[in-house]
With several copies, the nearest count.
Chain A
Amino acid sequence: MSEEEPQDVPDGVFKVRLANFEGPFDLLLQLISKHKLDVTEVALSKVTDEFMAHIRAMGPDWDLDQTTEFLVVAATLLDLKAARLLPAAEVEDEADLALLEARDLLFARLLQYRAYKQIADIFNRRLDDEARRWPRTVGLEPHLAELLPEVVISIGPEGFAKLAVKAMQPRPKPQVYVDHIHAPLVSVQEQAGIVVARLRELGEASFRVLVEDADNTLTVVARFLALLELYREKAVALDQETALGDLIVRWTGGDGGTQPAVTDEFDRPPEPPKPPKEEKA
């Protein structure tokens, strides 16, 4: 994809049209990576809409590779933008520092991906080039073949049949081992119970208070996820006055004995990493 490709030639390459940028998606990425365009000024939703339109326009011919690539890049841009948009408070504690590093790493990830993509192109050319050469692999000249000793097959017909069975047995495909990934040790449903009980008692509490007794990060995460579920069920109201400030949780679920529904969405064992992410090999 050339950098200066102004018009929208129908070559199947996705181009972006924004208020402050117009051109191939790859170019957009390059500009961002060279700090010539601020990612916070790129309307990602617009980019996504355009891509969807592009895919639709291609009809049944849409390209899986291009779509995958778009997803990767768009997801990273989104991450990047999120990181950029977070308030740049004074770098006081380690969390802020990590955030700043995160931005740079997201950049790094993007650039790295691009680098490997370019290398992949080189590989492809090399493989193509190499495919035009054939090594000499011809059989022995008859007089040389005659030098070979007579073959001895000593396993007998039955042994041979057993060997055939063994050889033809479906081999375990190279495996994706997920055994070591265990089901979450902390149940969101359980933690929701604790949160609900505490809020019914207190009426209102900051998130900090709600997780005071949590003895590990997973429990904190589980309680936060529980809050999201409760919010969806309109059992709590959330309030945060300043960015990164205290999150105030207010119980709005009434006094009734009915427990708000908290799904097991987060408690199910991880699904095998198959559809939508896995690529066609």
Chain B
Amino acid sequence: MSEETAELPAGLRPVAELDLKPALEAVLMVVDEPATAEHLSKLLERPKQTITKALRALAEEYTAQGRGFELRFVAGGWRFYTRGEYAPAVERLVLEGQTARLTQAALETLAVVAYRQPVSRSRVSVVRGVNCDGVMRTLLQRGLVEEAGTEPETGAILYRTTNYFLERMGLRGLDELPELAPFLPEAEAIEAETQEGVPSFDPDAPDAPGTDDADD
């Protein structure tokens, strides 16, 4: 019983003539993944900037009106979320779908991957000082990291964070990650050295001696 959108029942206006903000609200009620401004722009036949402006205005309205939901731009797309304040109520309803906490080890590994991506396991291990294979497997299984090709010199598999990671963290993109520098005195010097510099302490370097921890 599908209807051609072309032949609209009486009283319905074509998409291009619909009021933008409520049309966005209606569409976002139905999407089950973050909708990009591009997608919405094509769908509603308006320029992308117009869409983005309207979405921002809506998000602000909901906050100003103290609604129980919010419109957020996460992982590159827009989506309705319940507002954090009302978690105690929502929690009673959605027991499922909440994932288990990550261990400290997994969190640290995730942090290194996030800032160093794409990065090999052995390099992560160097930063953390312990083997991270098991933890990396967990992160892969959880969909928080994924493989990203291999390092040309060593053939080691590289890892990066996923879009799902951004979603779970509520980040728009990787550029929203907190800066590392404030946590790292003389950060630049250290980063530069350990990343590029002295081969004798870089087990990822192809000619490094004693690379028994280069496990990939």
Contacts and interface: CB of A to CB of B under 8 A. Distances in A.
Q: Do chains A and B touch in the complex (CB under 8 A)?
A: yes
B141 A139 contact: yes
Interface in A61-114: 65, 68-69, 71-72, 75-76, 98, 101-102, 104-105, 108-109, 111-114
A116 B137 CA distance: 19
- State the main secondary structure of chain A at its contact with B: helix
B11 to A, nearest CB: 10
Contacts of A181: 211-212, 214-215
B59 to A, nearest CB: 13
B148 interface: no
Interface residues of B, number: 98
Given A119-B111, A281-B106, A145 B141 contact: yes
Q: Identify the 4 closest CB pairs spanning chains A and B, nearest first.
A: A132-B87, A281-B134, A164-B111, A72-B129
A109 B125 CA distance: 11
B65 interface: no
Interface of B: 1-3, 9, 12, 28-32, 34, 69-70, 72, 79-84, 87, 90-91, 94-95, 97-112, 114-116, 121, 126-138, 140-144, 154-155, 157, 164, 168-171, 176-180, 183-191, 193-195, 198, 200-201, 209, 211-216
Nearest to A69: B104
Nearest to A119: B111
Contacts of A98: 198, 200
B181 to A, nearest CB: 9
A127 B140 contact: no
Contacts of B212: 173, 181, 270, 281
Contacts of A281: 103, 105-106, 134-135, 137-138, 212-213, 215
